[in-house]
Structure 1
Amino acid sequence: MRKHWVMLVAACLVPSWEGAASTLTRGEFTALFEQEAETVLADTGFDIVDELHLRANKPGGGELIVFLDNAYHSYELGQQPLYEAIQSKIVVVDAQLNHDSHQQVSRILPVIKPQSFLVRTREQLSEAGVNKDLTPFYYEHLNSDLIVLYVLDTPQSAQYLTKAQVKALGLSATHLRALANDNLQMHWQQTDAKWVVFSQELQGVLTLSKRDFYAASSLLAQPDWSLAALEEGWVFFMPARDHVYLVPREDAFAMSHISALVKDIYKHNRHAISPYGYMFDAGKWVRYSPLKAVEPSDG
């Protein structure tokens, strides 16, 4: 019941924000979020730590670190209107603070898998005499090559969330993705993962500083938003779950070398994901096409 009330109050507040003449700065976005979050979540206090970084304090004790990087990034790129970005984040924070299974909610992380993962799973179900159409875990299509699943990450294991578990959370697909991406942002903070230069020979290519189970998921939430937006000028390669590379689209030398490396990793890694690169186009992650990328503009 609380979830529906929070969504209703947030929805009533946000339309008035759209009068902003230009894109809000990080500081303005942070201040606006604090103002609206304290109105909707009246029992929770918010303190601004830095731009896009707040601390939420509950009256009964307990604290939640709130990062607005993903929400601001979505708004800045025009993927969400201002009111949707703020509203979605408020709903997510409420779930993180007040969900009956708070500890579990804070451990939900996104995982990217190839579409072939579904095929293999259904084949295994069919061999076991189970209806192959009853895929037990919850998933979303990212594009024609990739899907997004959600796992409950614990020190002992990472368990895929089932459709029943996701339904019990009471979150929309949009809010579930935002929640998982926020948790992933916290994971990067805790593991101190960063984008680093791949090699002296390929100075323009970036890779993660750590081999990580969730490395491929950095497509959804970056470890470091101070980097020029991933969507602008980069091709993202994820040949395996713990191998990722960012390559400038215009660097033909780097693209040739990394493409060959990616194909080799994909061929030999037991956790392979894709031999292709992906670029952000018209609001979606699509398979990189060199011809399309260098197509001249009109005029």
Structure 2
Amino acid sequence: MRIKIVLVLALLLPVCVYAGKPLISKHEFTLEFNRYLEEKVKDSEFSVVGDLHLHAGGMEGYELNIYLDNAYDVYLSGGRDIKLIFNDQLESIKNQKKTLSNSDVKSILPVIKPYTYIESSIAQLKEAGYDKDDIPLFYEKLNEDLYLMYVFDSADSMRFVSPKEVEKHGIKDSIRDIASKNIESYYFKIEAQLREIDTKGNGRAYLFFADENYEASILMGFGYLKRLTLEIDGEPVVFIPARNVVLIVGSNDSKAIDMASSIAARGYRELGYAISPFGYKYLDGKWSRF
């Protein structure tokens, strides 16, 4: 028994102690990184919004919401010195500043589309005389049901990003990350929110409200969702029957899942801009059908 206890303590040690020192809290980590940025980046203004959330401004009109969840997870693992973690984050911020200094790139937001939309759009373009290599749609596959597209969003219009524009801006490998950060900042700006719905005793469920255009894009702005008060049983399961309808329930809440599945199936059949009747769970870095 003594051997087992010693072994368990040894396994837990990296989680409880880092470099011989007690681990600091999320709040302390955020304050430390804010001080680090103020020391290293003199021409910018940084402020703490909340635990693991900073705001950066004053960079020639450039603004950014900085989320430190992943950095803090790396810190907790004990596998990397905190100064190196901070330096990694600083380099990421510099790269984002350089990329987003382009006003076009700063306006790119992600949109979720069903695979049927991609198939029909390609078919129509081919009928119109486009060759396969010249189709002016840039898209990426999320899973067997969903595709990710991008738009240039302005006060006057939304226009799909084309492959040529992706090449022009040199963002083929980074556009997904750019769009994710942009949509999280957009949600923060418009104060997108969750509202619990009355399920009549059928578990616990929430609706996500944004602007009637980018609700379903929450799949790409999941970091924002994690900061909202979401009291569910298990991991979030997200249903996106239409562009402007998002239901969220817990993976262990069978009643809520049944209810959300029924609502999503009906919404998928009846609502405009339909996307999917299924629920999705974030697992191993991707959204998979639940």
Moved over 6 A (4+): 21-24, 81-88
Percent of matched pairs sharing the same residue: 27
Residue 55 of structure 1: aligned partner? 56
For the 8 Å contact 2:249–2:257, the answer to whether it is kept is yes
For the 8 Å contact 1:122–1:133, the answer to whether it is kept is no
Structure 1 residue identity aligned to 2:289: R
**Does 1:72 find its partner at 2:34?**
no
Residue 240 of structure 1: aligned partner? 242
Aligned residue pairs, count: 264
1:85–1:168 CA distance, 2 compared to 1 (3 A): farther
Listed one character per residue, the Cα deviations across residues 6-31 of structure 1 (whole Å, up to 9, x for unaligned) are xxxxxxxxxxxxx9569874335535
Structure 1 residue identity aligned to 2:167: K
1:236–1:265 CA distance, 2 compared to 1 (3 A): same
For the 8 Å contact 2:241–2:278, the answer to whether it is kept is yes
Deviation at 1:159, TM superposition (A): 0.9
For the 8 Å contact 2:194–2:208, the answer to whether it is kept is yes
Calculate the TM-score normalised by the size of structure 1.
0.73
Q: Distance in 2 between matches of 1:277 and 1:228?
A: 17
For the 8 Å contact 1:110–1:180, the answer to whether it is kept is yes
Name the SS for the 1:112 alignment partner.
strand
Residue 121 of structure 2: aligned partner? 121
CA RMSD of aligned residues (A): 3.6
Listed one character per residue, the Cα deviations across residues 48-68 of structure 1 (whole Å, up to 9, x for unaligned) are 45431133323xx53524231
For the 8 Å contact 2:209–2:215, the answer to whether it is kept is no
**Does 1:188 find its partner at 2:187?**
yes
**Does 1:249 find its partner at 2:256?**
no
Q: Distance in 1 between matches of 2:231 and 2:103?
A: 31
Gaps of 5+ in 2: 1-16
Q: Which has the higher strand share?
A: 2
Name the SS for the 1:166 alignment partner.
helix
Gaps of 5+ in 1: 1-18, 289-299
Pick the structure with greater CA Rg.
Answer: 2
Q: Distance in 1 between matches of 2:74 and 2:115?
A: 27
Deviation at 1:250, TM superposition (A): 2.2
Name the SS for the 1:279 alignment partner.
strand
For the 8 Å contact 1:216–1:240, the answer to whether it is kept is yes
Residue 209 of structure 2: aligned partner? 209
* Worse-matched range after superposition: 129-138 or 180-189: 129-138
For the 8 Å contact 1:88–1:178, the answer to whether it is kept is no
Q: Distance in 1 between matches of 2:271 and 2:134?
A: 28
Structure 2 residue identity aligned to 1:149: M
Residue 14 of structure 1: aligned partner? none
